[in-house]
Amino acid sequence: MEIQVLQAGTGKPVTKLSELSKTSTIADVKAKIYKEKRKFYPDRQAIKSSLKGKTLKDDDTLANLGLSDGGELYLKDLGPQIRWKLVFLCEYTGPLLAYLFFYLRPAFIYGTEAVNQPMHKAVHIAAACWTFHYAKRLLETLFIHRFSHATMPIRNLFKNVSYYSGFGAYVSYYMNHPLYTPPVYGDVQLYIGLATFLLNEFGNFSIHLALRNLRPPGTKERRIPYPTSNPMTLAFAFVSCPNYTYEVGAWLGFTVMSQCMPAGLFTLAGLYQMAMWAMGKHRNYKKEFSSYPRSRKCIIPFLL
Ligand SMILES: NC(=O)c1ccc[n+]([C@@H]2O[C@H](COP(=O)([O-])OP(=O)(O)OC[C@H]3O[C@@H](n4cnc5c(N)ncnc54)[C@H](OP(=O)(O)O)[C@@H]3O)[C@@H](O)[C@H]2O)c1
């Protein structure tokens, strides 16, 4: 059968595809478009069934979509793509280097006098925590996460790298400043903050591991997450995205420990961003799985 491909949004003709059958999938359609128009490699395409409709899944068949000979599909150009993993690697290397630059080269930023100033132990512990956090995320990206997307639009790279590196530099500038004020409640505040940070980092890692085990290697399968034998995953009984909850908890711990205002702002910005994502993921879970536990919230137990 023959299918007409039009541009999503404008409806302008892109190409005509032939030799398709009712059992052909959207992935087959993408491969055919790529054959006709070499610019549109499959990861760059989003296929829709109407001008402004939702993106269709790769395994949707033409029969399921009710398409017959002469039917129409709409192509949205997602723009040049970049490997998802590479984005994450840049995203996490940026803030790591930005932060360490201020810590390791204070003379360069604050003047030569800064080298002779003693650094409070909170400054060293904060640098260790920051490094630990981003090293953990780099390693998780390489060895733990099983992503369902291979690529993402290249423009996201600039947005994400600037966000994380900008905040890394902002927090680090104040943390490593010669006029830095150590925690007012001394070691008690420092170690309560540190313990909170470490506990939440462990929680976040535990959730990432549980999510990995939900998806068989090489698949895009999604399942309902439930608590496992690791007690940190009990959080799944309360929220849909406990990895975000733990991430916010870790930055709260870092803020208490460091008593650094920019760290508090980073925590709030992260909470806002992750709350938005968690609400979207929560909605999708409920839509996708009719048996999804109703008592769960999105990111903050009992509240949100
Ligand atoms: N500080 C900040 O501002 C900030 C903001 C965002 C994230 N983060 C950190 O970055 C981490 C990763 O973020 P993310 O947004 O990528 O987390 P995520 O969406 O929860 O995903 C983590 C991994 O688990 C997979 N996954 C999620 N739900 C699944 C399910 N039901 N079944 C099977 N696999 C599933 C995801 O695959 P898919 O590829 O299919 O999604 C992805 O590979 C967060 O946990 C957090 O620590 C920090």
- Our mutation pick for probing the ligand 1 site, out of 274, 285, 296, counting the most ligand atoms within 8 A of Cβ, is 274
Q: Cα torsion for 38, 40, 42, 43, to the nearest 10°? A: 130
Q: How many CA atoms lie within 13 A of 188 on its CB side?
A: 2
Amino acid 294 reads: R
- The CB of 146 under 6 Å from ligand 1? The reply is yes
The residues spanned by each domain of the chain are: 3-79, 82-288
- Distance of alpha carbon 66 from alpha carbon 15, whole angstroms: 20
Residue 223, ligand 1, Cβ within 6 A: yes
Task: Give the residue, by CA position, lying nearest to ligand 1 atom 35.
Answer: 211
Q: 3-79 adopts what CATH topology? A: Ubiquitin-like (UB roll) (3.10.20)
CA distance 144 to 131: 18
pLDDT of residue 170: 98
Contact between 26 and 55 (Cβ < 8 Å): no
Bin 302: left if φ > 0, else alpha if -120 < ψ < 50, else beta: left
Reading the block at residue 148, the tokens are 């369902």
Residue to mutate (ligand 1; options 43, 90, 162, 222; most atoms within 8 A of CB): 222
Q: Distance (Å, rounded) from C-alpha 47 to C-alpha 12?
A: 14
Give the side-chain half-sphere CA count within 13 A for 61.
Answer: 6
Q: Tens of pLDDT along the chain (304 residues)?
A: 899 999 998 999 999 999 999 999 999 999 999 999 999 999 899 999 998 888 999 999 999 999 999 999 999 999 888 787 888 888 999 999 999 999 999 999 999 988 888 999 999 999 999 999 999 999 999 899 998 877 778 888 889 899 999 999 999 999 999 999 999 999 999 999 999 999 999 999 999 999 999 999 888 899 999 999 999 999 999 999 999 999 999 999 999 999 999 999 999 999 999 999 999 999 999 999 999 999 999 999 999 9
pTM, entire model: 0.83
The confidence score (pLDDT) of residue 276 equals: 98
> What confidence score (pLDDT) does residue 200 get?
98
Tokens of 230: 């690791």
What residues have CB less than 8 Å from 248, skipping those under 6 apart? 267, 270, 271, 274, 299
Which run of H or of E encompasses 5? strand 3-7
The SS3 of residue 81 is strand
Could you tell me the two tokens for 44?
């760059």
Per-residue pLDDT, 98? 97
Angle 66-71-72 from CA coordinates, rounded to 5°: 105
Pocket test for ligand 1, best of 129, 133, 139, 145 (most atoms within 8 A of CB): 145
212 CA distance to ligand 1 centroid (A)? 10
Burial 151-165 (b: 16+ CB within 10 A, else e): bbeeeebeebbebbb
141-143-149 Cα angle (round to 5): 50
> What does the pLDDT read at residue 94?
95
DSSP class of residue 60 equals -
Distance 52 CA to ligand 1 centre (A): 27
Please tell me the residue having the least CA distance from ligand 1 atom 27.
211
